[in-house]
A and B are shown apart, each in its own frame.
Chain A
Amino acid sequence: MKSAKKFKLSNMSDTNLLLTITIVVFFLMYIGAMLFQGKGFLKAQTFFNILNANAALIITACGMSLVMITGGIDISVGGVAALVSMCCAVYLDYHGGNVFGAVLIALGIGLAFGIVQGLLVAYLDIQPFIVSLAGMFFARGMTTIVNTAPFNVANEAFIAVKETRVTVPGFGSYNKLGKYVPAYVEIGVIVALLVVILLFCMLRYMKVGRNFYAVGGNSQSALMLGINVRRTRFLSHLICSLLAGVGGFVYFMHVGSGSASHAMGMEMNAIASSIIGGTMLTGGVGNIIGTFFGVLSLSTIQNIVSSAGLDQAWWTGITIAAMLCIFLVVQSVVMARKKKALG
């Protein structure tokens, strides 16, 4: 796949150029970490741990990219994820529900937020930022109204699902005691990979997927081409919130507890990953695979910072910000090139 891309590099599209940069940066970073930090990074499980910890973020970031491709934004995803985890926790623990019901609750909450926000954005022409800001406030507030205190879920069926580990053959390692520990991923990672593949296929091979790009690139000409702009926008917000619901459940599976402070700042991480992954907030440009690598890059930085023994937490913030800055400047150079090509 890579070599095929290389041949066309000179007339590569914006999306592909940004995507390539992202992937390359991720690999350079990871290899750098392997060379200079050694130990932990040489084990495959470190990589899988990154996936395990960020499965929820991958899912929500994919939804975020979709909305960003249509030129919108959704900052309610973190709130929705927190609300989902709290509702599921209450349902499973206090009401003795089953896991299937909890999944339905998660999807229901996501759908409800998607419909309301989508309607307000697409059919009442309110700025997506304000709508989803209110959505975030509402979700965060509701989470504390549902239950103030954070608590652990003791439901056995749920714990069984939570603890299920999918082993990845061939990547295990021996620990200090000489025991072979197989490499594993959590179920959430499988869900996340499925979401990535589904969305990627939708954006690339389906008509509705190409509509997203058209609407985000230039909504006026999309309208002239006979694309239902309002419906496309609505759909993007619907999918994003639905994925936030799914992401919330995956997050819930990872931590196994409900708390109002869960998924705090997830929306910003999702936006940052999308940007690093080459999605532009102006709309029309973006790629799901890029977002996937964006999330990986983000968490690799965090991992490097912590393994390097840089003890202050602020290092993470500063390195991520620096990286965002670089990517944004690269994007703006690309945009300048695009404008020049047009004019």
Chain B
Amino acid sequence: MNGLKSIVKHLEKGVMVIAAAAVSMFILTACSASGQSPVKDSSPEAETEGEKEADADKSADQLVVVGFSQLGAESDWRSAHSQSIRSELTPENGFQLLFEDGQQKQTNQIMAIRTFIQREVDAIALAPVTESGWDSVLSEAKEAGIPVILVDRRVDVSDENLFECWIGSDFELEGKKATQWLHQYTESIDYPQDQLHVVNIQGTIGSSAQIGRSKGLRQACDRYGWDLMQEVSGEFTQTKGREVMASLLRLYPDLNVVYCENDNEALGAIEAIETAGREPGLDLLGGQILILSFDGMNPEALQYAREGKIACIAECNPQHGKRLADVIRRIREGKQPEKYSYVEEEIFSGCDAIKTLTVDGKEYPVTLLQ
């Protein structure tokens, strides 16, 4: 009883002390805030010198500070992507990485970029969660003289000069590759093109991967006369993929091609198909459901591709780390990097019927999974 009372009393005394401290600290803060400008006033003249100094610092092993705003950790691909960047931008390679997980929220990412700007990092890398709504924060970065490098997804801004360059995958080409594989494969087994009933399990609506891959599919459907029955979002997750697939199977008993916009969705779809008593596979004539997928990161999905449960996987290469490090070095050296650079990507299949694909007049070899 008494103990508690004395604790409370102590607490009160403590509060009094702390309150006093806080008041004085507050005054200090105000001083330092206003006192900041005189200190910095001299900087305009010292500007050019400062830059030289920075160069000297670099040779003296000064680390390049890079702020990276990752959009989240929703899929295996994303984890591999983060891992690639983390393992490349290390102190050994001359970088200090500030990694920010946006947890799928644009506001978090905007906040992160503003924090980077205030910290005066040397470069900002951004994997945006959506394409739109970046104008103001990117122009703030530009005003602050910090180059912004986009990775993976693109942004939709009024002025392309707001970002330095973009590194990522050609999602539309991936879509074209997968659909071309389906076209060539069905031709090879003499399956009528107008008998292909396709459903599309889309990625997170509005993401670059979803837009590009969906576009690739729609073009192919128009060109080859496939029946595109429905497009629903599976949000790039296995759970959602299964959920969506289960309801699609009930709605369209005659569907025979599933176009999954990433591997996790394909895994979910396969579960749903098997639970419903159907079979995923390459034998369209025998009533199996053919599955096309993307990424090629998940070992389980690759195993399924070997078994033929997934007919073909268009790779989406997450190894952006090295390219990002190169680009930042180039910018530091004062060179202009290429505005859009694509990473190399393959196409995997467990079926050796198709050896090469012809997309837009260019040949792509199909990597056979053993």
A adjacent to B, CB under 8 Å: yes
Residues of A within 8 A of B (CB): 2-3, 5-6, 9-10, 12, 17, 20-21, 23-24, 27-28, 30-31, 34, 39-46, 49, 52-53, 148-152, 162-163, 170-179, 181, 251, 254-257, 259, 261-262, 264, 302-303, 306-307, 309, 311-313, 330, 333-334, 336-337, 340
Binds A, one of B30-38, B189-197, B254-262, B321-329: B30-38
Question: What 0/1 readout, one digit per residue, does chain B (102-121) give for beta carbons within 8 Å of chain A?
Answer: 01111100111011001110
Instruction: Count contacts on B: residues with CB < 8 A to the other chain.
Output: 63
Within the assembled complex, what's the spacing in Å between the Cα atoms of A170 and B37?
9
Q: Give the shortest distance, in Å, between A314 (CB) and chain B (any CB).
A: 9
Find B22's partner among A27, A264, A333 (CB 8 Å cutoff).
A27
Contacts of B21 in A (CB 8 A): 24, 28
State whether B8 touches A27 (Cβ < 8 A).
no
Within the assembled complex, what's the spacing in Å between the Cα atoms of A72 and B19?
31
Within the assembled complex, what's the spacing in Å between the Cα atoms of A87 and B112?
27
Question: What 0/1 readout, one digit per residue, does chain B (133-156) give for beta carbons within 8 Å of chain A?
Answer: 100100000011110000000001
State whether A333 touches B33 (Cβ < 8 A).
no
Q: Give the shortest distance, in Å, between A43 (CB) and chain B (any CB).
A: 5
State whether A31 touches B104 (Cβ < 8 A).
no
Contacts of B37 in A (CB 8 A): 172-174
State whether B29 touches A177 (Cβ < 8 A).
no
Answer whether A311 and B99 are a contact pair too, CB < 8 Å, given A24-B15, A28-B18, A175-B144: yes
Q: List 13 extra interface pairs beyond A52-B114, A162-B136, CB under 8 A.
A: A6-B19, A6-B20, A34-B29, A46-B115, A163-B136, A174-B44, A175-B120, A176-B120, A262-B107, A309-B99, A313-B100, A340-B4, A340-B5
Within the assembled complex, what's the spacing in Å between the Cα atoms of A20 and B146?
40
State whether A261 touches B104 (Cβ < 8 A).
yes
State whether A255 touches B133 (Cβ < 8 A).
yes
B101 contacts the other chain (Cβ, under 8 Å)?
A: yes
Answer whether A49 and B114 are a contact pair too, CB < 8 Å, given A28-B22, A256-B133: yes
Question: What 0/1 readout, one digit per residue, does chain B (249-291) give for beta carbons within 8 Å of chain A?
Answer: 0000000000000000000000000000000000000000000
Find A174's partner among B16, B43, B118 (CB 8 Å cutoff).
B43
Contacts of B15 in A (CB 8 A): 9, 17, 20-21, 24
Residues of B within 8 A of A (CB): 1, 4-5, 7-8, 11-12, 15-16, 18-23, 25-26, 28-29, 32-34, 36-37, 40-41, 43-44, 47, 73, 86, 96-101, 103-107, 110-112, 114-115, 118-120, 130-133, 136, 143-146, 156, 205-206, 233
Contacts of B4 in A (CB 8 A): 333, 336-337, 340
Find B205's partner among A21, A149, A170, A173 (CB 8 Å cutoff).
A149
Main secondary structure of the interface of A (DSSP, over half): helix
Within the assembled complex, what's the spacing in Å between the Cα atoms of A196 and B7?
33
* A264: nearest chain-B partner, CB-CB: B105
State whether B107 touches A181 (Cβ < 8 A).
no
Within the assembled complex, what's the spacing in Å between the Cα atoms of A333 and B4?
8
State whether B40 touches A255 (Cβ < 8 A).
no
Answer whether A39 and B205 are a contact pair too, CB < 8 Å, given A173-B40, A311-B99: no
State whether A307 touches B119 (Cβ < 8 A).
yes
Answer whether A53 and B107 are a contact pair too, CB < 8 Å, given A175-B120, A313-B101: yes
Of B43, B104, B145, which is in contact with the most chain A CB atoms at under 10 Å from its CB?
B43
Find B25's partner among A31, A251, A337 (CB 8 Å cutoff).
A31
Contacts of B145 in A (CB 8 A): 175-177, 179
Contacts of A2 in B (CB 8 A): 19, 22-23
Q: Give the shortest distance, in Å, between B147 (CB) and chain A (any CB).
A: 11
* A57: nearest chain-B partner, CB-CB: B107
State whether B106 touches A53 (Cβ < 8 A).
no
Q: Give the shortest distance, in Å, between A103 (CB) and chain B (any CB).
A: 20
State whether B115 touches A40 (Cβ < 8 A).
yes
